[in-house]
Structure 1
């Protein structure tokens, strides 16, 4: 009887030790936060399971980042944001310190920093989306020049506003030469369908309007300079980068790792399948990529090149001229290239993407 009691007691003590060990391992290492929080665009973000897109979806599916953070007792938390109000949600989240990183657009990042927030571009590349000018299906318009004096739906302050300004300028037009309707993508599509807008400037949702015989694409950014595309990249809180460089390095390495995995020969098809699984019609994903003149591997380059810096410098200048920011912003202060540089060393990819 006594022997059975001793055995049982040993078992209970062992179980208690395992529980305590588990609790200890679940706690973050000294000086580290409980979680790293990354905001990313998600479909069905307001109901049901969030389906992430782009680089963040690849990072989430690989599981490497969650595993590496877990070894330090730090959780990985994904914060879904809706496509209709990404800029507002992310900038507010950075302001109230409820996120540490976000994969989102270039122009909202400029607006955030000009407004007093301090974020840094951590991992460039990955999402270089095309922009499209759509007119009603039966419209006689064939180019932006045919829309002078007409009503064009455009969501102000979103990443595709800058490419729209480039399209206007290339045709000798100014914003005052058209009547801009500041509408989010959903409302812009509805305005085009109802006839209350003569055109709609948007992203690949343009193809859905074509499929429904509501709209017709008359211009796309696939062949003009790359600067006419919309950039969405990984940004981090400057405070977080300074306070937790070890964690920031893991995040950057995870994204560079995902970029390299997507950039290989069969990565295009795998990327298309992943986007389709996340809720984007496969036909839309394929049409977005078809005819794009940027090499597939270069699309995923995380290098902070002169091209990237020139893009942000020009966009910061545009933001001031367009009244989106109150004072000039020095874009040269927006970058934290050290994390990608170290990630390339860690992954032995120093020569993978030629500068």
Structure 2
């Protein structure tokens, strides 16, 4: 007896129809907004200091801003700092990123599609430290010594500038590439003769383990580093409303940070990283918080970014030149400042970073309203 032919319940026609319907359906989007921070951070939960975005993190301001939208806010911290953040951006693992000027320039030179939205934490000093009791008494004394530098970060070019102004180059030193934590350990154990770093060095100083050899006493802008918030270009195009909400939230935090009456509260917020308040006071004692917190993309920020880009090319850190035109997308910042009545709250500085721009209003308008 012949076997009956088995007939599938799904005909070829019905399968094809189902596949076509699936292809026409909009792709479900992950309701997640991912922010990368170019720092290992500290504390529990992990946070970071020195910028208004750290305030946003601590006070869960983004989580509150997106409450009820179904969007989850995720924060990622990178011990590898800016270079590691760039890799994550390149792999589309982040939507927004907080990092320094040099890594951002390197990323752009390598074809990373980002838009710079606003300044976050500018005029940060870089310090030069030596172990306690060292016979190194000047920058010139570094010649031939083992010096720790975190290469590729926004402190790297500052160290090159300081060396150059004292007749030295990196080739005159025995440079060792160490991240912040490793550099501190090496200084404390006298495994290196000197190290460039940030405010984390003040904790070692106060413990009697090191001396700060250089602390930028004249606030020379060439010895400072700038940080900013960037967004992936594709994300900015696809989710402009989300970008606006992030920038609005950042401006609110920057305004709160800028009030001098809030200085102690701001430092205590940043100390949630487990950094000593004394270290934060030492680092920010030279600077008005309003200037540090300013989100403006003014002539000062533009000139510093272009200077970093030009120097990175000269130092052969990047192969092709980088221009700032078309990179800075400041319409979101302009919208935030206008809606909050803050168009003239922060000083728009000229290129030297010391004098207000000749026409403050025009400079401010240029800074926040232009798309490039």
Q: Secondary structure at the match of 1:43?
A: coil
Deviations 1:174-227 (A, max 9, x none): 222222112222222333334342211111121122133321101013523223
The separation in 1 between residues aligned to 2:273 and 2:72, in whole angstroms, is: 23
CA-based RMSD? 2.2
Match in the other structure for 2:335: 342
Measured against aligned partners, the alpha-carbon deviations of 1:61-91 in whole angstroms (never above 9, x if no partner) come to 4444323323433222222333xx1223311
Name the counterpart of 1:299.
Answer: 292
Aligned equivalent of 1:187, options 176, 182, 191: 182
**Separation in 2 of the partners of 1:89 and 1:58?**
23
Give the TM-score normalised by structure 1: 0.84
1:20-74: CA deviations, max 9, x gaps? xxxxxxxxx99875121112235348xx632333322311344443233234332
Query: What is the alpha-carbon distance in structure 2 between the residues aligned to residue 30 and residue 352 of structure 1?
Result: 42
Provide the C-alpha distance between the structure 1 equivalents of 2:134 and 2:59, rounded to a whole number of angstroms.
45
Q: Which runs of 5+ in 1 are unaligned?
A: 1-28
Distance 2:272 2:305 in 1: 32
8 A Cα contact 1:35 1:75, kept in partner: yes
Does the C-alpha gap of structure 1 residues 43 and 64 become closer, same or farther in structure 2, counting only changes over 3 Å?
closer
Per-residue deviation, 1:241 = 1.2
Residue 152 of structure 1 aligns to a residue in which SS? strand
Name structure 2 gaps, 5 residues minimum.
1-25, 349-372
Aligned partner of residue 66 in structure 2, secondary structure: helix
Q: Which residue of 1 aligns with 2:305?
A: 312
Change (3 A) 1:150 1:259: same
Tell me if the contact between 1:165 and 1:175 (Cα under 8 Å) persists in the aligned partners: yes
Contact residue 147 and residue 193 of structure 2 kept, 8 A = yes
In 1: Cα distance, 2:61 partner to 2:186 partner:
43
Contact map agreement 2:122 2:292 (CA 8 A) in 1: yes
Match of 1:200 among 191, 195, 200: 195
The DSSP-based 3-state class of the residue aligned with 1:333 is coil
Q: Please point out which of 20, 35, 52 is paired with 1:38.
A: 35
Q: Which residue of 1 aligns with 2:111?
A: 116
1:49-88 superposed matches below 5 A: 49-53=45-49, 54-82=51-79, 85-88=80-83
The verdict on how the C-alpha distance between 1:287 and 1:156 changes in structure 2, with shifts beyond 3 A counting, is same
- Please say if residues 39 and 78 of structure 1, whose CA atoms lie closer than 8 Å, have aligned partners that are also in contact: yes
What corresponds to 2:283 in structure 1? 288
Question: Counterpart of 1:98?
Answer: 93
Aligned equivalents of 1:279, 1:196: Cα separation in 2? 25
2:302 is aligned with 1:322 = no
SS at 1:234 equivalent = strand
Distance 1:32 1:346 in 2: 29
Show the counterpart of 1:278. 273
In structure 1, what is the Cα distance between the partners aligned to 2:278 and 2:288? 20
Residues 309, 332 of structure 1: 8 Å contact kept: no
Does residue 1:256 correspond to 2:251, yes or no?
yes
Q: Secondary structure at the match of 2:129?
A: strand
Supply the distance in 1 between the matched residues of 2:246 and 2:291 (Cα, whole angstroms): 21
Partners in 1 of 2:90 and 2:288 — Cα distance? 36
Q: Cα–Cα, structure 1 residues 146 and 176, in superposed 2: closer, same or farther, change >3 Å?
A: same
**1:16 — aligned with what?**
none
2:262 matched residue in structure 1: 267
Q: Which has the higher helix share?
A: 1
Shift of 1:127: 4.7
Separation in 1 of the partners of 2:336 and 2:33? 18
Number of aligned residue pairs: give it: 321
